[in-house]
Each structure stands twice: as C-alpha cells, then as structure tokens.
Amino acid sequence: METAKGVTLARPKNKLKFDWLVQLLFKPKNTLDLIFAEARPNWQTPLLVLGVVGFIQALIAGPIKKTAIEMGTNLPPDFQWYSPEQQQQFLQAQASQTSPLFLYVFPILGLVIGIFITWFLLRSLLHLSLTLAGSRAKSMLSGNLAAWSVTPLILRSIVRIIAMLATKSQITITGLSGLVTADGGFTAFLYAFLALIDIFVVWQLVLVLIGAQKISNLPRFKAWGVAALAFFILLLLEALPGFIGSQLSGLTMTRMFF
C-alpha cells in the first residue's frame, strides 16, 4: 500500500485463515506446512469456527431436547422398574431442565470452556511429549497444531446439525459407545471413552501425527509414537467428565468437551 508521499507501507496480515480449513481437509501436508511456516500463533481461526458451529448446534438441539422431555421420549430403558418416588423425582428433574438455562446457557458455556481446555491440554501434552523425546520445537507450534487438528471436528458438528434438522431428534449415542453399556464402574468409564471415538477423531489423530513429525524433526515413528500417546492421554482426560457425571446422576451420561 502506497501513501500520498510515496512511502510504502506493508499491508496488515489477515490473522484469520478460513481458507486453510478447507485446504486442510484435502491437502493436509501442504496446508500444515503453511501453518507452521508462520512465525506467530495462528490457532484462533479453527477454535473460533468450532465455537460458532457448536453454538449453532446448541441452538438447534435446545428445542429438540425440550420437546423430548415434555413428551417423555427420553426416559431411561429401565424407567418402569423405578419406584413411584424415583419416577416422580426423575420427572421433576427433567422438567427443571426445560428452562433456557439448561437448554442453552449451560451447554454453550460448557462448549466454550471445553474447547479451550481441550486445546490447552493437547497443546501441553504434545509439547511435553515431543520435548521429552528430544525435540526442540517451540510450544507455539504445538499450540497451532493442536488448534488446526480440530478441523475434522468442525465437519462432525456440521454433520450432526444436518442430522438433527433431518430427524428432529437428539443424537444420544455417539462414537463407539453403543458397543458397551454404562452399568457403572469401569464400564461406565469405558462407555464415556468410547463415546469420544469416531471417524472424525481418528481423522484428527492423523493430522496430529503428520504435524508432530513436521514440527519436531524427530524420526517418523518416534514422533508418531509420542504424539499418539499424548492424544490417548487427552482422550482419557476427556472421558472423565462423562464418567463423573454418570456416577453423580446414576441416570445419564454428560459431556463437557467438544
């Protein structure tokens, strides 16, 4: 950009790189090279888009959940075996969850907090594991990788939005959770863990593995191994809120993370 006096000023760089989100889906290696080539934090774009899409998902899920509660279609499978007092307590608890506070405010707050906590955990775990393995990469690169790796999760939220609009029903079974029943104890934790695993999370892991090798300059399999371990620890930590929620309520699984 040139001023009236002929002084050339550099154009400000666009901090939000929305085009990289699409490129990362089709050309992950080349796009990751562009992401890491920037000598500054550029994690804002994917987290912002994930938050916006998640916000839309919460707005769509709210009325569907309210209708399900009012019609009694979300009763637990063994509801008929509850005592009359337990049934009444359950119905009263469900009725209290039809307020905007439970339908929108808490889910959206949980979404925002969960996005940043999960990003921070993955960033920290990646940087720590790669450093212990001998890498000298800056933590900034791990933060950028942790953020841009959520791109498949944005696509997952879009798919869920389309599914809810098409079926007018909630998505109650996620990931591989249908393989087990949350009876309590270890199976309840396994249920929460498997609920996190789907094709989009596997896709995210692939991006993490590719990026870890690029930023660490470690041998391929060594970088992949420590990055996979960091990702596995993240999933274990993500499963804790659902497990704790199931133990406290004894009725339903809850989830904080995205």
> Is residue 198 assigned to a domain?
yes
pLDDT over 70, % of the chain: 84
Averaged pLDDT for residues 143-171: 94
> Is residue 150 assigned to a domain?
yes
**245 pLDDT above the threshold of 80:** no
What residues make up the domain containing 214? 42-72+79-249
- What is the tally of structural domains in the chain? 1
**2 pLDDT above the threshold of 50:** no
DSSP 8-state class, residue 179 = G
- Band of pLDDT at residue 92, cut at 50, 70 and 90: confident
> Is residue 95 assigned to a domain?
yes
| pLDDT the model gives residue 158 | 96
| pLDDT the model gives residue 141 | 96
Two tokens, residue 136: 């000298």
DSSP 183-246: -STHHHHHHHHHTT-SHHHHHHHHHHHHHHHHHH---HHHHHHHHHHHHHHHHHHHHHHHHHHH
Terminal C-alpha separation, the chain: 41
**Under DSSP, is residue 8 helix (H, G, I), strand (E, B) or coil?**
strand
> Is residue 2 assigned to a domain?
no
Task: Give 49: exposed, middle or buried? Use CB within 10 Å, 0-12, 13-18, 19+.
Answer: middle
> Is residue 173 assigned to a domain?
yes
CA–CA distance, 189 with 182 (Å, rounded to integer)? 8
Residue of 258 and 108 predicted with greater confidence: 108
- Band of pLDDT at residue 143, cut at 50, 70 and 90: very high
Residue of 187 and 163 predicted with greater confidence: 163
